[in-house]
Structure 1
Amino acid sequence: MRAPVKGCVRALTVLDESRITAVASVLRNIPASAVDVIELNDPQYAAIKKLVAVHGDRAVVLAVANALISYRLSLPGEKYWLEFADWGSRISTPSTGKELVEAMKTFLAESRGNKMVVQQKARRLERAAPVLERILREPGRYRDLGVLVKELAGVLGARPEEKTIVFAAKMAYYAYRALGLEVAGKNEIPVPLDRRMALLTSASGMINSTPDKVFTRYRLDAVRAWQKVSRESGIPALHLDAVVWLPAHGIERNLRRGLEYARDEFARRLVGYSKGIVDWNTARQVAGQIIYRDPYS
């Protein structure tokens, strides 16, 4: 008798399938039109649009480069990307990968929102330079997001589902969307698992562990959980990210004021980002399943 596959056993013991189904069932009530509007109102999309207005299709490589160093930030992601767009809209359009990397190093030296492990991030950009060069030369080639993920993972020696790799694909998608261009392969891109998404994975009960352990020990399991939610809800993970990540801004602070307060704030933001397409009752049902429990209790 063959020994069970280690990864499969772990997934079965860690993931709560009933909670995955419950989260997916309420998200299924969010129409595609609402998902579309939520993305358009994402501050990160507004940042990308600003870059596109200045750099045209070269904004794709700026979005990808910044996504690769978007970790251990000292500002919320929404504010950080607006800071990057303000800087990026004032620089000359880079013409080579080396020029881009040097410009990004200058940004890192000045940034308020990206102050930690700066040298490590600079080296990461240097390693990614061959792919960044190709994006500059052939931006249209990377409308297939799967190609982008494969090449970035290869040059960085990273897993394809690693947070900044898939986040780069998401921000490239935003750039192509701002350019009015369709992309391929977006259904295969998983949710970028940052600390906010790890907290939501824990709070939803899909993994019965603390946010810190989800972010470290159970990262791949969390990615699988959201992939299952994506399949069962019918919302591609690339779009699902905005639907659950954006309304969860400030969730740690909100949870300190109580579970019901955190749910109300999530629901209020979901209604707001969707411009009312998601009504209050639906938003509150979504909030009740996404913030099913206090992950710190």
Structure 2
Amino acid sequence: MTEELYGDSNLKQGDKDLPENGPNKKAKSKGYVKELQNDLKILGIYFSKIDGNFGAKTKQAVETFQWNAKKIKKRIKNNSIVNDPPVYTESITGIVNPTTKKEIARWLEKSFKATGDLVRVNESQFSNIEIGSAFKKIKHLHINDGEIVISGEIIKYLKYADSKAKALSLNIVINQAMRVNGQKVTGAVVPPAKKSQHLIGHAIDCNIVDGDIWNNSQIFANGKETENAKKFIAAMKKEGLRWGGDFTNSDTPHFDKQIISVIDYKYKYFFNQRMISENQKIPLTTW
């Protein structure tokens, strides 16, 4: 099937489908671009007109597919989320070469659709992390009370924070994790003007409670945080998270795992925000 998918040549920006009875009998005259556009639509990637013209929007859709196939470990299948460790390792080029054709064919065969990497975790999984009174549950069909929504990449840091807080006799009270952007995300990939790590599920705002002392933004602003809070912050930074107190414009209490790559941020933002706006299933993580 792969060898025949979209002919024996690469498809790239500038290619167009031509009438089969026209003078040009090249491989791309057989409707391959329309076929590609339709397949990308089935996979939940392409949202524009199926017109047989491999323009900028089709190229972006191919890049979006390539990024997701390479970076995301889960897919939608029959309206459920399934694990699918990436096997695609090609560069993100927007060119449909044999490897990209093979991956598209694999997704079609398995009835996969693209999704993001958000997960839900119930606060009951933790001993020393809880949801605070200021925490606002995201409006979503599959998010329940008492659940934190975060990128799957951040779970290991929450586990570490929980164990470190327990060792220091602290409680971590989460006020915000994943944040929904004001603009609904469904179609084209358009990153926000301000690239907050909250918008991709890579950040938490929290108070660090040490006995009767709430190490909150005011405490940090006045330099009155407790020694155990300082130890906790140092441990989380050593583990690889950024501390908001180190920012040029101080943002405390805030931790995040920054995605520096503009490309990675753009696509993770698109897929994770779309999980919310389209009420896609968000898997519950337990351990």
TM-score, shorter chain, exceeding 0.5: no
TM-score normalised by L of structure 2 = 0.31
TM-score (norm 1): 0.30
The structure that has the greater radius of gyration is 2
Question: 1 or 2 for the larger relative contact order (CA 8 Å, sep ≥6)?
Answer: 1
